[in-house]
Amino acid sequence: MVDLEDGPGSPFKGKVSDFIENHHWKLPNVRSPLLQRIFEKIRDIKIPLHACEDMCLWSLSSDGSFSSKSAWEDIRSTNPKVPWATLIWNKKLQPRASIFGWRMAHGKLPTDESIQKRGIALVSRCSLCGVEVESMDHIFLQCSFAEGL
C-alpha cells in the first residue's frame, strides 16, 4: 500500500501495482522534491516479468533482513578513525585504562591547570617534582620525574 502526499489535497493512495503499467513504472508528476527523489529511486527498481509474491527487503543488509545494527550504522554520524584508537580501545586493556587514554588524548584529564581553566582558583604545584604547575604537558613530557621514566 502506498500513501503519499504532494502538498495539500493531492494524496496518492493505492497499491504498488496501481503504479505499474505494462511492466513499466507509471508514476505521477509531483512538485515535492522529496517525492521526486523517491520516484527516481523507484524507477531504478526493475519490475519482474513474471508474477511473484511481494516481500519486504531491507536494503541496508546483504540478505535483505532488517537488523537494528544496520539501521544504527546508517543513521549515526561517525568521525574519521584516529590512528591511536586501536591502542586505546584494546581488549587487553582494562576499561579504566582505555578511558584514561581517551581522556589524555582529548586533554580531558583533571589536572590543576584544567581545573583553573574552569574558573576555580587553585594554587598548583606538581606533586611529583614540586616545582611546576600541574598540567598535562608537564606531567607527561616536562616533569623531571617523567623524564626519568
Residue 126 buriedness (CB in 10 A; 0-12 / 13-18 / 19+): buried
Q: How far apart are CA 19 and CA 17, in angstroms?
A: 5
Q: Smallest gap, in angstroms, from Cβ of residue 129 to Zn ion?
A: 3
Please choose, from the candidates 26, 34, 24, the residue with its C-alpha nearest in 3D space to the C-alpha of residue 4: 34
Q: Choose, by CB under 5 A, the member of 4, 42, 88, 128 that binds Zn ion.
A: 128
Q: Choose, by CB under 5 A, the member of 4, 60, 129, 136 that binds Zn ion.
A: 129
Q: Does position 27 bind Zn ion by CB under 5 A?
A: no
Beta strands in the chain (DSSP E): 2-5, 11-14, 20-21, 24-25
Choices 22-30, 62-70, 79-87, 136-144 (CB under 5 A): range interacting with Zn ion: 136-144
Helix (H) or strand (E) holding 70: helix 68-75
Choices 66-74, 94-102, 104-112, 126-134 (CB under 5 A): range interacting with Zn ion: 126-134
CB-nearer residue toward Zn ion: 35 or 126: 126
Residue 77: how many CA atoms within 13 Å on its side-chain side?
1
Q: Smallest gap, in angstroms, from Cβ of residue 145 to Zn ion?
A: 6
Residue 15 buriedness (CB in 10 A; 0-12 / 13-18 / 19+): exposed
Count of residues of this chain found to bind Zn ion when the rule CB under 5 A is applied: 4
CB-nearer residue toward Zn ion: 105 or 129: 129
Q: Smallest gap, in angstroms, from Cβ of residue 131 to Zn ion?
A: 6
Judged by the rule CB under 5 A, the positions of this chain that interact with Zn ion are 126, 128-129, 143
